[in-house]
Structure formats: C-alpha cells, structure tokens
Structure 1
Amino acid sequence: MNEEIIPILRVEDAAAAVAWYRRLGFDQEWEHRFAPELPAFVGIARGPVRLFLSEHTGDARPDTLVYLRVRDVDAVAAEFGEPVEDAPWAREVELRDPDGNRLRVGTPKN
C-alpha cells in the first residue's frame, strides 16, 4: 500500500459533482451511503490522484482550494473554456466546481 493524502471536498449533489470531475479526467471508484436516503460519500480518481466527495455537512467546508498537477493544462483549460495564466513555477488555470470548491490546475515549467 502506498501512503497518500486524499482531500475531502464538500458537495451538495455527489452525482452532479462526479459528472463535473469527469471533465477533469476523474472516474468514480465507489460510493458509500449508510442508508439509501442518507448523504453520499464518493471516491474519484485520475490515475494515482484521488479525491473524496462528501455530501456530509461536517466533513469539509465549501470554497476549499486543491492544487492538481497535470501534464497538459492547456487541454484542461480548453475543456472548461478558461484562459491559462503563466506563473513563474507553472502554467495554470483556476476552476470552480459546482459547489464552489476551487481547483488550481497546473503544468510545471521545467
């Protein structure tokens, strides 16, 4: 087992959030509910990168910022129709998911 950190993001509608994150290349790995009418807790992954999406109000707060390094930030920016910014350390685009969580996506400069 590899040790890792997995950010938890608060979402109102896990299914809608999973659909949005698919545009970033994430796939749903699993979903857990203690009962069918209770909030969902979902695991998504893009290769070795994982996020947890939680409908549980106490798990995380909205407006969280997560940094995602990718090989091609231009492709991500094009998918969302957002401009890429040049920073001294990377080319980046900042996105907001449907729940207001922020994702800064970047390709490092060599």
Structure 2
Amino acid sequence: MTERLAPVLRVRDADAAVAWYARLGFARQWEHRFAPDLPRYVSIARPGMEIHLSEHAGDARPGTLVYLYVDDVDTLAAACGGVEVGSQDWGRDFVVTDPDGNRIRVGTVPA
C-alpha cells in the first residue's frame, strides 16, 4: 500500500458535491452508507489526491480550507468559471468555495 492523506470535508448532499468537485478533476471512487436512509460517506480522487466527503454531521466542520497543488493551475481556474489566478511568493493560486462553504485553494509552485 502507498501511504496517503485524505482530508474529510462535511457536505450536505454528496451527489451535488461530487459533481462540483469534478471541475477540479476529481471522480467518485467509492461510497459507504450504513442503511439506505442514512448519511453517505464518499471518496473522490484525482491522480495523487484523495478527499472524503461526509454527510455525517460530526465528521468535519463546514468552512474547512484545503490546498491542492497541481501542475496546471490555469486549466483548473478556467474549469471553475475563469476565476483569477493570483501570484504569491509561494506560487500562483486561486480559491473557490464549494456549495457547503469549504474553501479549496488550488495552486502551483514556481518553476
């Protein structure tokens, strides 16, 4: 097994969240639900990254910030509606907020 980190984000509607994160290149990997009427726990991933989305109220706090390092920040900014990419000392990045108030900062380090 390769070690990895998977931050957990609180979401109200896992299907809506999966669709929103698709613009950042994430796809659903698996889903768990204890019973049909209970909250879902979903894994989404893209190469080298995994995020867990939880409808369970106690799993994470809304409004979390996650930083994603990517190779092509401009393509993802365009996929997010053409948001502006800023230049910082640490690289170029932008921030978007998912439908549940979680902030996702996407950036690339200087070459």
Range into which the TM-score falls when normalised by the shorter chain: over 0.9
Give the corresponding residue for 2:100. 99
Give the corresponding residue for 1:50. 50
Secondary structure in 2 matching 1:28: strand
Does 2:16 align with 1:22?
Answer: no
Give the corresponding residue for 2:88. 87
Following TM superposition, the consecutive aligned residue runs of length 4 or more in structure 1 with deviations greater than 4 angstroms are: none
Alpha-carbon distance in structure 2 between the residues aligned to 1:30 and 1:6: 13
Identity %: 59
Report the number of matched residues: 110
Which segments of 5 or more consecutive residues in structure 1 lack a partner in the other structure?
none
**For residues 71-109 of structure 1, what are the alpha-carbon distances to aligned partners after superposition, in whole Å with 9 as ceiling and x for unaligned?**
111111111121000001110000111101001100110
Q: Displacement of 1:48 after TM fit?
A: 2.1
TM-score by length of 2: 0.96
The amino acid of 2:98's aligned partner reads D
Q: Displacement of 1:3 after TM fit?
A: 1.5
The amino acid of 1:39's aligned partner reads P
Which segments of 5 or more consecutive residues in structure 2 lack a partner in the other structure?
none
